[in-house]
Amino acid sequence: MDDDGLHVRTVHVEDWEADPMPVRGGPVTVSGPAVLVAQEISVPDVEQWSVHTTTGSYADGRLRDVQRPGSRALEPRPGVLARMRRQRALERACVSALRAARHR
């Protein structure tokens, strides 16, 4: 940003196709290069998701010169084996974090 700072915010984008793209909740008094990191999820099961980035130049609540990701589409629906692996990985990560925090 023009103040040599890093500004991290949770923002809202209503129209991902607009250029300039209105960004609600961004910093008001600074401008400069910006990156939006977004996640799409399937509701209600959250079995499918995708993470994508959009870049551009931010000023006055708008992102200009927008560079969009190739796709914002959800990943393919995982099969049973992939779901079981995901759940097992989540379990291992949770147990590891609890042990690191000295919980038994």
* Residue range 58-95, pLDDT digits in tens: 999 999 999 998 877 888 888 889 889 988 998 999 99
Q: How confident is the model at residue 104 (pLDDT cuts 50, 70, 90)?
A: low
Task: Give the contacts of 64 (CB within 8 A, at least 6 positions apart).
Answer: 19, 20, 21, 56, 57, 58
pLDDT at res. 72: 79
- What mean pLDDT is reported for the chain? 88
pTM of the model: 0.67
pLDDT at res. 13: 93
pLDDT at res. 92: 95
User: Rounded to whole angstroms, what are the CA distances from 51 to 41, 79, 90, 92, 101?
Assistant: 9, 20, 18, 23, 29
d(CA 70, CA 82): 25
pLDDT at res. 4: 80
